[in-house]
Amino acid sequence: MAITMTDAASKWFRDELALPAGAGIRFFGKVYGKTNVHDGFSVGMTRDDKPAEVVEDFLKDGIHYYVTAGDAWFFNGLDMAVDYDAHRDEPVYTFSEQG
């Protein structure tokens, strides 16, 4: 599993959540919704500066973006690209087979 993120998405997270350098965002799977590879589940995120059992840690612009062991099932065998949709003013998550 790997996380990538555009500059626009990184700016949205930093601005929207007022994240200081060293802060963390934990991604997880949540019930309801849909992704391009999940039906009935969508991506959730929460501020978490000190997560336990990290299985993926992506650092961009001083912010850590995490997936923990408890949420690995949602990301298993997949890479996640995070972009920003200016029209909806929110992040967009796209999954692909792990490369």
pLDDT of residue 42: 85
Bridge partners (DSSP) listed for residue 41: 31
How far is residue 42's CA from residue 40's CA, in Å, rounded to a whole number? Answer: 7
The conformational region for residue 53 under phi > 0 = left, psi -120 to 50 = alpha, else beta, is: left
**What pLDDT does 9 receive?**
98
Q: What angle do CA 77, 68, 90 make, to 5 degrees?
A: 80
> CA-to-CA distance for 37 and 82, rounded, in angstroms?
14
Fill in the DSSP letter of residue 20: P
Residue 10 has pLDDT above 90, yes or no: yes
Instruction: Tell me the whole-structure pTM to 2 decimals.
Output: 0.90
Homologous superfamily (CATH) for 2-97? HesB-like domain (2.60.300.12)
